[in-house]
Amino acid sequence: EVTIYEAFHKAGGVLVYGIPEFRLPKALVQKEIDKLSALGVEIRCDATVGKALLIDELLSNDPDVGGYEAVFIGSGAGLPVFQKIPGLNYCGVFSANEFLTRINLMKAFDERYDTPLMPISKVCVVGAGNVAMDAARCAKRLGAEVTVVYRRGEQEIPARKEEYEHAKEEDIVFKLLTNPVEVLADENGWGR
């Protein structure tokens, strides 16, 4: 017997909240989740192991939460690593993980949802890995003018080549050999 504890309100992890629909259709992910359920796997959403549930409790004989013989920890996407520059706490400054989660899982682009995401017209994405490309391409689809800033040259871009090429085809601007030193804000505390 297998039980999956999912921290978010929808199963699928980074495949659902991190990877945009244009790269991985959510219907495909849902088919895989449905296959697991059909095999008898129980999926419990909104359950954060390590906070609401402790591993010791899961391994205990407590009939309400425990009784498991083993626990596998699939922690998913790691926490973002921010540069050590001033201004990262201003409004409108997001990690790519948060930005993608707001869009992909919480439907921030759709006015029928309550997920906050202010209207965006100009976006700077710092970094050039696959997650950065996803964030840049999502921002572009939201109607923003997008610039990717990366500290190294084109040959060192860590994103898959096709992701980089797709971003360029979508008129995303790349400023290479460039690195921010500070985020500035307007008089209302919004990052600029």
Pair type for strands 3-5 and 122-126: unpaired
Residue-wise pLDDT tens digits, 91-128: 889 898 888 888 877 776 667 777 766 778 899 999 99
Please tell me the distance from the alpha carbon of residue 126 to that of residue 166, in angstroms, as a whole number. 17
Residue-wise pLDDT tens digits, 8-44: 888 998 888 888 888 899 899 999 999 999 999 999 9
103, 132 Cβ separation under 8 angstroms: no
Give 52's pLDDT tier (boundaries 50, 70, 90): confident
17, 104 Cβ separation under 8 angstroms: yes
Residue-wise pLDDT tens digits, 137-158: 999 988 899 999 999 999 999 9
For residues 106 and 89, which has the higher predicted lDDT (pLDDT)?
Answer: 89
Report the range of poorest mean pLDDT among 30-39, 78-87, 164-173.
78-87
Tokens of residue 54, six digits = 């402790």
Single pTM value for the model: 0.81
Tokens of residue 51, six digits = 């906070």
The strand pairing partners of 3, in sequence order, are 42
